[in-house]
Amino acid sequence: MMSSRLGSVAVGAVLATAGFAGLAQAPAVVHAQDSKARTADGKPDFSGIYEWPKAATGERCRCSATIFDRNLFAPLKPGGEPFYEKPNGDPRHDEPRNFCMPAGFPSGMLSANAVQFVQNKNYLVIVHEFQRMTRIIPLDGRPYRQGLEPMYNGDSVGHWEGDTLVIATTNFKRWGLDDYYYSDPKQYRMHSDALKVTEHIKWKDAQTLAYQMTIDDPKTFTRAWSEDFTMAAKPEWDKTGLFEYVCEENNRCPGGKCPAP
């Protein structure tokens, strides 16, 4: 895996390629330091660069990425035991990211890299530096798309509840919930294909977003459960922008351990 510094974030090019010219023309000035900034329709403007979500309370992971606090989990329902899955010796299963496979969501959102929001009236685009995970979230009240196969990052739609943005994501394939593997290499935490994730985003103060994630996995848990995070605004990072994240398709050194020539 390789990263190189970009002089500026090429978000405009990404969005234009995706067909969202209106977003590509968004002003370059970041608003993260001003919680009173609003889009044209009067909604809070979250545009800016942030630290990754960090747990607001409870246990903190001493690894390179954030994990969920297991003390907040709902009880497992009968049949939900595969949530805890043991490594099986297949490196594409045990750490698929070593082979350039996606971290998926919500795991990728919790990774310890910068996150950029680009917003206008109709869309919020979230670009995570890790794996360049990009989510294009419509804010106009449209329903979920139909006929799509399950995805690593799911299908997201957003709506406003006052000054709080609510994003609901569904249509996942079964995949890793978080990076718990790096805390206990004997266990993965795997969500099912029935997962629904709801995010609530609002300003906590002029420098910080309050970010809540609710996990609803009816194949695994008896009820939905939530964890609260904060995301610190980093307008000083805008000058440099996000790093480019490149993963080579034929990575032959899983875990950084390369075979002898």
Lowest mean pLDDT among 43-57, 121-135, 247-261: 247-261
Q: Which two tokens stand for residue 206?
A: 């002029």
Q: For tokens 């995301």, name the residue.
A: 231
> How far apart, in whole angstroms, are the C-alpha atoms of residue 221 and residue 225?
9
Domains and CATH numbers, the chain: 2-251 (2.40.128.20)
Please write the tens of the pLDDT for every residue from 152-192: 999 999 999 999 999 999 999 999 999 888 888 888 899 99
Please write the tens of the pLDDT for every residue from 219-248: 999 999 999 999 999 999 999 999 988 887
Strand 225-232 and strand 188-191: the pairing is unpaired
Sheet containing strand 54-55, edge to edge, reads 54-55, 225-232, 208-216, 196-205, 164-170, 155-161
pLDDT in the model for residue 204: 95
Quick one: 161 exposed, middle or buried, by C-beta within 10 A (0-12, 13-18, 19+)? Answer: exposed
Query: Which of 257, 260, 237, 256 lies closest to 7, judged by CA?
Result: 237
pLDDT in the model for residue 51: 94
Q: Which two tokens stand for residue 203?
A: 């300003």
Q: Label residue 78 by pLDDT band (50, 70, 90).
A: very high
